[in-house]
Amino acid sequence: MILKNLIGTGAFVALMFTVSAFVHEEKKETATQNISTKNDGFAVLELFTSEGCSSCPPADQLMGEIEKKYKDQPVYILSYHVDYWNRMGWKDRFSSAQNSQRQQEYSNKLGSQVYTPQLVVNGKTEFVGSDRTTVENTISSELNGLNDNKIDLKAKILPKEIIFNYNISQVNSKDKLLITFVEKHASTQVGGGENEGRNLHHYQIVHKQYPVNLSSKEGTATFPIPNNFNVNDWEVIGLVQNTRSGEIVASTKAIVN
């Protein structure tokens, strides 16, 4: 009787060990799957700012800090200087009507107001660009998301133009490729308006953004070289954006040579 009980106990222990090992392996496999599918996202931060706006310098400074903190991760910052502040006593030398139009398009798609400093992340959500906590939380959420679409962008510099070769893993009929020329850093001594007398620092300044219609996954596009462009102080960022929803579905930094 005692022996029988011992045998039964031994079988029970063996059974429990087998079940435990199975559960452990299942958890291990699930964890491996999670590792392979997460942390595959990206974050495109589009800041709408102006040298004439007294609320904008903290947001500009935050973008500089974010750029430094996430320099080895797929976080891409684009600072668009809008032109509607220019009538307030100071003309922003980086401003353009094109930048203001892009912000208006986001306002229409997201149902938001037009204001500065406004930050739009991946074309999906917007908030005040100087809100550090929200910026950090949103970046973390986007980086831990999934991204099924990839883009490869290479550029060759010629004397007066740059030729881009792109390869995109998925193409939707509503998608466009936006090739964006960005100056990494600049400063301005402001002589009027709300920031009169201040020396302002700007980061990831958008100078030109060219749309490319996507009829296939691969292609080339040629654009003129912006004034003062050089590979040390500038970079080129490629975005694939759904023109209907505004969502950015792929992004990368171009390899320029």
Per-residue pLDDT tens digits for 203-235: 999 999 999 999 899 999 999 999 999 999 999
CB 155 within 8 A of CB 236: yes
φ, ψ of residue 63 to 5 degrees: the values are -60, -35
CB 84 within 8 A of CB 100: yes
Q: ω into residue 117 within 30 of 0, thus cis? A: yes
CB 79 within 8 A of CB 120: no
Residue 13, pLDDT score: 41
Can you name the CATH fold of 43-256? Answer: Immunoglobulin-like (2.60.40)
Cα separation, 182 vs 186, whole angstroms: 11
Evaluate if residue 243 carries a pLDDT over 50. Answer: yes
Residue 6, pLDDT score: 39
Residue 38, pLDDT score: 54
Q: Is residue 148 very low, low, confident or very high in pLDDT (cuts 50, 70, 90)?
A: confident
Tokens encoding 115: 């204001």
Q: Which residue has the higher pLDDT, 9 or 67?
A: 67
φ, ψ of residue 133 to 5 degrees: the values are -60, -45
Q: Which residue has the higher pLDDT, 179 or 34?
A: 179
- What's the whole-model pTM score? 0.85
- 173's CB contacts (< 8 A; 6+ apart) are none
